[in-house]
């Protein structure tokens, strides 16, 4: 297996609209919150060579600055790329300008139960499959349940019977936002963070949990403490 430089791109921004101070409020006994937790998790990986902490939030950057590691680079992101109205495509164009890595893993602080083991396993799986023509990997969960469209029709039933067993339904794969891992060329040439031939990295619901609403934060704290224990 050939090895190339892997960078972890970790963006945050000021002004969480749904969960106040989501990124830095204490989380599960961790004073620096989701930012501190995610930085610790990435530092514990074995296959990440560079960490790009990208933010316009001074509080977030101050938390990251507490950690001294040669792999960590803290870069203040331009304000126009930190707005709620910022087009994701513009951020995709920006990412390869702040790293020369061969492969870029884009992750989020809001997936606090996805840790070093999950990241390393995803990177290993991806690197092993490059010779088979894959150019990217995306973290997903597997969904097998009855799914209706607005007309009330099942859209994932490929059988000949109206109500098959759920295990016989066509599987769908919601993106869980834990990791988007791709060759540099996917960013620079395809202008995307998922390539034309992506691997689906199927994860369990627990490690995929994403904080998007106030109730999610509370639920995630309980799950985190049960999984990892309370941090002092």
Dihedral, CA of residue 2, residue 181, residue 87 and residue 185, to nearest 10: 20
> Would you state the pLDDT for residue 17?
72
Tell me which architecture the domain covering 6-141+175-228 has in CATH: Alpha-Beta Complex (3.90)
Give residue-wise pLDDT tens across range 118-165. 999 999 999 999 999 999 999 999 999 999 999 998 899 989 998 999
Q: How far, in Å, CA of 112 to CA of 220, rounded?
A: 8
Give residue-wise pLDDT tens across range 17-57. 777 889 999 999 999 999 999 999 999 999 999 999 999 99
Which residue did the predictor score with more confidence, 15 or 96?
A: 96
Which residue did the predictor score with more confidence, 82 or 18?
A: 82
pLDDT score of 1 more than 50: no
Give the domain ranges of the chain: 6-141+175-228
> pLDDT category, 231, cuts 50, 70, 90?
low
Q: What is the mean pLDDT of residues 110-119?
A: 98
Torsion angles phi and psi, residue 13, rounded to 5: -155, 165
Give residue-wise pLDDT tens across range 169-219. 999 999 999 999 999 999 999 999 999 999 999 999 999 999 999 999 999
Q: How far, in Å, CA of 76 to CA of 60, rounded?
A: 11
> Would you state the pLDDT for residue 19?
79
> Would you state the pLDDT for residue 21?
86
């Amino acid at each position: 297996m050939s090895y190339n430089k892997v960078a972890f791109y970790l963006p945050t921004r000021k002004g969480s609209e749904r969960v106040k101070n989501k990124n830095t409020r204490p989380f599960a006994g961790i004073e620096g919150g989701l930012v501190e937790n995610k930085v610790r998790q990435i530092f514990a990986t074995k296959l990440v060579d560079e960490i790009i902490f990208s933010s316009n939030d001074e509080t977030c950057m101050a938390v990251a600055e507490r950690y001294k590691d040669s792999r960590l680079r803290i870069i203040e992101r331009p304000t126009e790329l930190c707005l709620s109205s910022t087009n994701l495509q513009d951020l995709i164009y920006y990412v390869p300008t702040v790293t020369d890595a061969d492969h870029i893993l884009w992750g989020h602080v809001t997936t606090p139960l996805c840790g070093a083991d999950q990241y390393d396993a995803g990177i290993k799986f991806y690197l092993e499959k490059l010779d088979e023509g894959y150019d990217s990997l995306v973290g997903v969960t597997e969904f097998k349940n009855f799914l209706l469209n607005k007309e009330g029709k099942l859209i994932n039933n490929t059988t000949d019977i109206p109500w098959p067993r759920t295990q016989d339904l066509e599987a769908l794969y919601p993106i869980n936002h834990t990791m988007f891992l791709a060759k540099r060329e996917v960013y620079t040439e395809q202008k995307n963070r998922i390539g034309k031939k992506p691997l689906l990295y199927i994860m369990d619901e627990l490690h995929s949990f994403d904080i998007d609403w106030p109730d999610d934060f509370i639920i995630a704290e309980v799950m985190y403490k049960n999984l990892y224990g309370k941090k002092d």
